[in-house]
């Protein structure tokens, strides 16, 4: 596009992008600057949009994805071309996999040079690269199309099953000019980007009929249920039916983990014995053994509440699909059910209760031991006890053993307060998720991180310090991936799973003005965490874990 002068007042792509984002209530962007988007970040700041500048786009993208999950608005990640874009794409793919709404906006280089592969600065066909990993991908070529481009990105990210959307912003577009009045008139606010999708009454009646006949019903809550923000309806339905429920890890806290109907402590028993299982915003993927024996009974019948019709029957035949948004579905179920219609058999409730009690006692025995050096049980019990005084706190959790044990031991009491490795079991999401949780809510966050998991995005502690976020990072330092005691029997190189022994991760945060703590026993860990939470300032606790305490691949040993 030419930069021809006109007597009328002109605007450019930079201004129009910022204006379009503002019209759609974007208040924060996450990213890393450089050619051609540095001025876009500056302009956004000048127009009241926060720009949280990261050290790596992967972490910025994870932050945007978490912001989307928490707010039901697409989180925005801004990157430079080619390598910056590819870093962001990792996070975009993860957002799509987790059904989080996110928009990756990347500057790109000259189209005509890319298309002829003539070798531009940071040349890459980004639109083509993004397509397989995004829910949708668009490029805006003309300034008068910016409003439409942003609208399409919003709608694709939020409507139906949420996901990651790529928006390609060529350098030429950002610099091109247009008559200001024409440009402004082309922008608009997206109306109802995630409209209600009301399931059909007959699908609800079919599901209720199945639940009425059930002897051993079970409800499974997934992170789709948490995302849907139908917290009251969910609780009312579960309590009115009396059905035991199992929260998937990020659905923990939708009802408080100490709720009497929680079957989390009897997970294997309820999966194996349920005769009717109702999935609410949860997929029958690997995290649920694909719905197959031996984890599940071959006779179990399924109800699935999901916004994506294509998800139904993906692993097992679904007897009663309810396709629609979860809030509308829960409203429909509550409206059509009658008191006393659905009642799990007393024998089933008793069996679940007995198993819960038995497993809780077993766990309690492990938690009661105060080991030095600390194992996962001692460290997590200590953290759990301190967090009992901070019930609404965000908990971010990643690692292998750190994650598997953390999921079971750290109780959640409020919805959408737990963020973890999610559907891919990805390492490196922790600091980005923690930053988004703190930025979007203004509330404190504890990130319980395996030392390997932490390392993927560890430099973001500088970001945490720069923005003075109330985040306490606890690094479970066992000197390695899974364990820290592996030996290489073949050469003098370190074994593939081990890290430098005796590392002091607490010293890292001190370099940026944060507070570092070093804990080798539970009393020191407890005091450090209390102090760090009270200070509401950036802190990192180097939590020394017995290098022999972990299991290779954590709970996924059989996948090796
Ligand atoms: P988990 O890992 O916790 O089991 P999943 O990510 O596998 O959960 O499943 C989430 C499901 O929730 C997806 O199938 C997605 O389509 C669905 N979902 C997301 N948002 C909504 C919504 N608002 N209404 C209905 N279903 C939703
Ligand atoms: C992006 C593979 C799964 S778990 C893990 C790795 C590297 C680290 C486990 O060690 P950590 O926790 O964090 O110290 P702990 O308590 O068991 O010692 N790359 C990516 N994602 C994954 N999942 C891997 C590699 C992996």
pLDDT value at position 556? 83
Q: Judge whether 435 and 52 are in contact, CB under 8 Å.
A: yes
* CA 135–ligand 2 middle distance (angstroms): 27
Distance from Cα 482 to the centre of ligand 2, integer Å: 7
* Three-class DSSP category at 30: strand
Measured from the CB, is residue 306 less than 6 Å from ligand 1? yes
Q: Is the CB–ligand 1 distance for residue 282 below 6 Å?
A: yes
Q: Which of 184, 263, 189 is nearest to 221 (CA)?
A: 263
Q: Give me the residues paired with residue 542 across strands.
A: 475, 518
**Alpha-carbon torsion (186, 189, 191, 193), positive or negative:** positive
- Tokens 């026993």 -> residue: 521
What are residue 220's DSSP bridge partners?
A: 246, 279
pLDDT at 2: 45
Q: Whose CA is nearest to atom 3 of ligand 2?
A: 400
248 CB near ligand 1 (under 6 Å): yes
Atom 4 in ligand 2: residue holding the nearest Cα:
400
Task: Spell out which residues line ligand 2, taking CB within 6 angstroms.
Answer: 399-402, 425-428, 450-453, 476, 478, 481-482, 550, 554
| 509 Cβ below 6 A of ligand 1 | no
Question: By CB neighbour count within 10 A (0-12 exposed, 13-18 middle, 19+ buried), where does 485 fall?
Answer: middle
Distance of CA 454 from the midpoint of ligand 2 (Å): 9
**From its phi and psi, is residue 466 left (phi > 0), alpha (psi between -120 and 50) or beta?**
alpha
Tell me which ligand sits closest to the C-alpha of residue 197: 1
Dihedral-angle region of residue 74 (phi above 0 means left; psi in -120 to 50 means alpha; beta otherwise)? beta
**Ligand 1 centroid to 419 CA: how many Å?**
15
Query: What is the four-CA torsion angle of 453, 454, 457, 461, rounded to 10 degrees?
Result: 160
The per-residue pLDDT for 557 is 75
From ligand 1's centre to the CA of 284, what distance in Å? 11
Which residue, by CA, sits nearest to atom 24 of ligand 2? 427
Cβ(67)–Cβ(45) below 8 Å: no
| β-bridge pairing 10-12 and 177-179 | antiparallel
* Of 97, 378, 424, 453, best ligand 2 pocket probe by most atoms within 8 Å of the beta carbon: 453
- Ligand 2 pocket: which of 379, 424, 452, 454 to mutate (most atoms within 8 A of CB): 452
pLDDT score at 4: 46
pLDDT score at 1: 41
Q: What tens-digit pLDDT sequence spans the chain (560 residues)?
A: 444 445 589 999 999 999 999 999 999 999 999 999 999 999 999 999 999 999 999 999 999 999 999 999 999 999 999 999 999 999 999 999 999 999 999 999 999 999 999 999 999 999 999 999 999 999 999 999 999 999 999 999 999 999 999 999 999 999 999 999 999 999 999 999 999 999 999 999 999 999 999 999 999 999 999 999 999 999 999 999 999 999 999 999 999 999 999 999 999 999 999 999 999 999 999 999 999 999 999 999 999 999 999 999 999 999 999 999 999 999 999 999 998 899 888 999 999 999 999 999 999 999 999 999 999 999 999 999 999 999 999 999 999 999 999 999 999 999 999 999 999 999 999 999 999 999 999 999 999 999 999 999 999 999 999 999 999 999 999 999 999 999 999 999 999 999 999 999 999 999 999 999 999 999 999 999 999 999 999 999 999 999 999 999 887 877 77
| Distance from C-alpha of 347 to C-alpha of 364, rounded to nearest angstrom | 25
Q: Which residue has the tokens 């910022």?
A: 18
Indicate the top mutation candidate among 102, 196, 222 to test ligand 1's pocket, ranked by most ligand atoms within 8 A of CB. 222
Q: Which ligand is nearest to the CA of 289?
A: 1
Ligand nearest to the CA of 557: 2
Ligand 1 atom showing the smallest separation from residue 422 Cα: 2
Closest ligand (CA of 549): 2
Pick the ligand that lies closest to the CA of residue 497. 2
Distance CA 149, CA 522 (A): 53
Q: What is the DSSP string of 239-290?
A: HHHT--EEE-GGGTTSS-TT-TTB-GGGHHHHHHH-SEEEEES---SGGGGG
Q: Ligand 2: which residue has its CA nearest to atom 23?
A: 426
Which ligand 1 atom sits closest to the C-alpha of 249? 3
Q: Tell me which residue of 132, 191, 136, 137 sits closest to 161, measured CA to CA.
A: 136
Q: Which ligand is nearest to the CA of 546?
A: 2
User: In which order are the strands placed within the sheet that holds 445-450?
Assistant: 418-420, 394-398, 445-450, 471-477, 539-544, 515-519
């Amino acid at each position: 596009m030419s930069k021809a002068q006109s007597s009328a007042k002109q605007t450019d792509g930079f201004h129009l992008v910022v204006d379009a984002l503002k019209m759609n209530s974007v208040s924060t962007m996450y990213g890393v600057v450089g050619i051609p988007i540095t001025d876009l970040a500056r302009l956004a700041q000048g127009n009241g949009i926060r720009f949280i500048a990261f050290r790596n786009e992967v972490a910025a993208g994870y932050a945007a994805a978490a912001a989307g999950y928490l707010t039901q608005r697409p989180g925005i990640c801004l990157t430079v071309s080619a390598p910056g874009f590819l870093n962001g794409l990792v996070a975009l793919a993860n957002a799509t996999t987790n059904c989080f709404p996110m928009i990756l906006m990347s500057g790109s280089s000259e189209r005509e040079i890319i298309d002829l592969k003539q070798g531009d600065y940071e040349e890459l066909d980004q639109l083509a690269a993004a397509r397989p990993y995004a829910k949708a991908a668009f490029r805006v070529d003309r300034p008068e199309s910016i409003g439409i481009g942003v609208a399409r990105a919003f709608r694709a990210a939020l409507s139906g099953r949420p996901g990651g959307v790529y928006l390609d912003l060529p350098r030429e577009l950002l610099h091109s000019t247009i008559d200001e009045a024409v440009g402004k008139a082309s922008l608009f606010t997206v109306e109802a980007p995630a409209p209600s999708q009301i399931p059909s009454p007959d699908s609800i009646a079919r599901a209720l009929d199945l639940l009425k006949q059930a002897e051993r019903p079970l409800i499974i809550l997934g992170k789709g249920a948490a995302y849907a923000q139908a917290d009251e309806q969910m609780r009312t339905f579960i309590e009115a039916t009396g059905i035991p429920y199992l929260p998937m890890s990020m659905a923990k806290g939708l009802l408080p983990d100490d709720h009497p109907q929680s079957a989390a402590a009897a997970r294997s028993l309820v999966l194996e014995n349920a005769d009717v299982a109702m999935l609410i915003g949860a997929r029958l993927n690997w995290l649920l053994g694909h719905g197959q024996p031996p984890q599940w009974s071959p006779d179990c019948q399924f109800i699935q509440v999901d916004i994506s019709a294509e998800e139904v029957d993906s692993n097992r035949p679904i007897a009663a699909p309810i396709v629609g948004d979860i809030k509308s579905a829960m409203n429909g179920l509550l409206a059509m059910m009658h008191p006393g219609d659905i009642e799990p058999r007393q024998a089933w409730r008793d069996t679940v209760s007995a198993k819960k009690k038995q497993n809780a006692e077993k766990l309690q025995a492990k938690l009661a031991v105060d080991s030095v050096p600390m194992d996962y049980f001692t460290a997590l019990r200590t953290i759990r006890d301190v967090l009992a005084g901070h019930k609404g706190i965000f908990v971010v959790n990643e690692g292998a053993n750190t994650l598997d044990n953390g999921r079971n031991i750290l109780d959640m009491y409020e919805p959408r307060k737990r963020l973890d490795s999610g559907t891919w079991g990805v390492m490196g999401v922790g600091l980005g998720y923690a930053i988004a949780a703190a930025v979007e809510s203004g509330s404190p966050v504890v990130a319980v991180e395996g030392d390997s998991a932490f390392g993927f995005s560890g430099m973001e502690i500088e970001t945490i310090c720069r923005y003075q976020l109330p985040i306490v990072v606890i690094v479970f330092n066992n000197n390695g991936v899974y364990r820290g005691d592996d030996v290489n029997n073949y050469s003098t190189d370190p074994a593939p799973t081990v890290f430098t022994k005796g590392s002091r991760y607490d010293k890292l945060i001190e370099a940026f003005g944060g507070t570092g703590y070093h804990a080798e026993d539970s009393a020191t860990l407890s005091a450090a965490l209390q102090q760090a939470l009270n200070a509401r300032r950036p802190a990192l606790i180097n939590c020394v874990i017995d290098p022999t305490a972990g299991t290779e691949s954590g709970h996924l040993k059989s996948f090796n």
